[in-house]
Amino acid sequence: MLESLAIKNYALIDNLQVDFNNGLSIITGETGAGKSILLGGLSLILGKRADLSSLKDNTKKCIIEAVFNISNYNLKSFFEREDLDYESQTIIRREILPSGKSRAFVNDSPLNLNSLQLLGEQLIDIHSQHQSLQIVNDDYQFKVIDALAGNAKALMDYSKELKDFKAIKNDLAILQKQKSEALKEHDYNSYLLKELIEANLVLGELEELEEEYETLNNVEDIKEKLSESYQLLGDEQMGIITTLTQLKTNFSKLISLSNKYSLLYERINSSLIDLDDVRGEIDDLFEQLEPNPVRLEQINSKLQVLHNLMLKHAVKDISELLVVKESLSEKVTNTANLDERILRHQDELLSKEKLLDHISKTIHNNRVEAIPKLKDQLESILKNLGMPNAQFDIKLKLTPNLLFNGKDELSFLFSANKGGNFLELKKAASGGELSRIMLAIKLMLSNYIQLPTIMFDEIDTGISGEISNKMGEIMLQMSETMQVFAITHLPQIAAKGHSHFKVYKKDVNGITQTNMVKLDHDERIVEIAQMLGGMDMSSSAIAHAKELLN
């Protein structure tokens, strides 16, 4: 419920602070006193867009703040989703800066306008004659029927399953598109993969093959160089080993004369041993080298295959070719698995569709049972509101289509006159009749679901006498389970309120200001008497006002 409202620097309002109670609150005031300004300020709290013209003094910011008790509204999940601190007493503040920028806060945390609108819809329902057009909308008509049918849980289950159904259907469409595209590439990918498999790729093989190729391709030249090197080391006349052997012999004689030649002798001897070993290895290498044209051709062919594959796939080495091979293998495997995945999704889709069909039939049957109750209650309430011949013809048709709220098509027809034709509401009912129908529906809904605070904005226009009295009684009845506001010009309705507020204008230092005050019992008598007989109150008007209040 709305506990308090504070407005600063908005339109004709300089500074307004008012507290509200539960039950039925009446708001009255002369035409032009500023009731629409009050509603405009409240609409900003509910997420309406603002502009700079809203500021009374465009050098100061406008602040509108409302305190709500939301303990019975089941809004914790909304606060969690929006990352807001949940408080049973929640404060919504809206600021409009002189720059034209607007900001919204919930419990001092910033909130965007879209989210504020979603929150506002669950806190206050501002109901005017214009808003009565909601009742001609199929979605709203379903909402009314489902409230009486007790379909809340079934609709929640249906919505969840429908979301899953659409997700599976979307995934299936993606898989089918992938299959269509994959089939075009499958043969080519399989061919490329086969080439890579047949190449028997081994990491590091390229370098080894290139080295072996260079050896076999230059075997004669290598043998010649090895033979020449062997001769340089081992020639009996001029070979390095022969020379070093003579050098060793010379130093062996020198060390007998002095130990200072020992180190050089050791180094010469070590070099002689190393070179003799080198000569042996050269001899071994020479013996191992044999021309092998068959092996050379095999290596050349393999190298051509590898280089062609690297060129084809635009890679630099075998490691990158192996990555390409893995990728192609996945594509080929995935293509092969697509049929299985598509079949699995089709089975899931069929299962979900059967479940949705079952839930939608439950929803349909509940609606069918609720429609006579809705029809009887509506016609009974409207009879008391001066529409004795009002009749409804409400029909459901189960369709094969999965709609957002089941599989029903709704026909909600109305006739205001006995013997009249049943037509769509928007064609059969006048503005005043729509207002009374909407009031009757709100009364019914208040008995089945938790409604937000409702504010009736002059829906009694064009109504008087006993009908206005009945309207007031309906509003009073609704206020037993919810907070109700009624902006009215009718004394019969004004007298029903538990609280009564008056909106008025006054001039302060030559500037017109709108204000609002809560009336006590005596002030209510005066206000209602003026509503009955004008500013020149007669004793009969005052007596009538007292009678209405009693």
Question: Residue 451: what pLDDT?
Answer: 86
538, 39 Cβ separation under 8 angstroms: no
Q: Quick one: 119 and 230 in the same domain?
A: no
What percentage of residues in the chain have a pLDDT greater than 90?
A: 47
- Asked whether residue 186 falls in the same domain as residue 322, the answer is yes
Residue 438 falls inside a structural domain: no
In angstroms, what CA-CA distances link 183 with 190, 329, 438? 11, 15, 59
Is residue 315 in a domain? yes
Instruction: Note whether 336 and 200 are within 8 A (CB).
Output: no
One domain, residues 83 and 198 = no
Are both 243 and 313 inside the same structural domain? yes
Using the predicted structure, report yes or no on whether residue 218 has a pLDDT greater than 80.
Answer: no
**Among the three residues 336, 365, 387, which one is the final residue of a domain in this structure?**
336
Residue 131 confidence (pLDDT): 62
Cα separation of the two ends of the chain:
27
Q: pLDDT category, 305, cuts 50, 70, 90?
A: confident
Task: For residue 296, tell me if it sits in a domain.
Answer: yes
* Of the candidates 54, 31, 28, the residue with the CA atom closest to the CA atom of residue 41: 54
Q: Which helix (H) or strand (E) holds 307?
A: helix 293-312
Answer yes or no: do 324 and 248 share one domain. Answer: yes
Please tell me whether residues 197 and 330 are part of one structural domain. Answer: yes
Q: Same domain, yes or no, for 91 and 231?
A: no
Which of 298, 301, 305, 334 has its CA nearest to residue 313? 305
Q: Are residues 119 and 199 in the same domain?
A: no
Average pLDDT score over residue span 438-458? 89
In a domain, 197, yes or no: yes
330 and 185 part of one domain: yes
24 occurs within a structural domain:
yes
Which residues constitute the domain of residue 258? Answer: 180-336
Give the tens place of pLDDT for each residue, 235-265.
777 788 888 888 888 888 888 888 888 898 8
Question: Between 262-288 and 240-254, two packed helices, what is the crossing angle to 10 degrees?
Answer: 160
Query: How does pLDDT run across 320-356, given as a tens digit for each residue?
Result: 888 888 888 887 777 767 888 899 999 999 999 999 9
The answer to whether residue 355 is domain-embedded is no
Q: Are residues 186 and 297 in the same domain?
A: yes
Do residues 335 and 182 touch, judged by C-beta distance below 8 A? yes
| Of the residues 336, 358, 377, the one at which a domain ends | 336
Count of domains in the chain? 2
pLDDT at 433: 85
CATH of residue 501's domain is: 3.40.50.300
In a domain, 330, yes or no: yes
Rounded to an integer, the average pLDDT of 418-425 is 87
Are both 93 and 187 inside the same structural domain?
no
Weakest-pLDDT range from 62-66, 223-227, 305-309: 223-227
Question: What pLDDT does 133 receive?
Answer: 65
Q: At 106, which helix (H) or strand (E)? A: strand 102-106
Domain boundary residue, one of 313, 336, 359: 336
**Under DSSP, is residue 417 helix (H, G, I), strand (E, B) or coil?**
coil
**Does some domain include residue 373?**
no
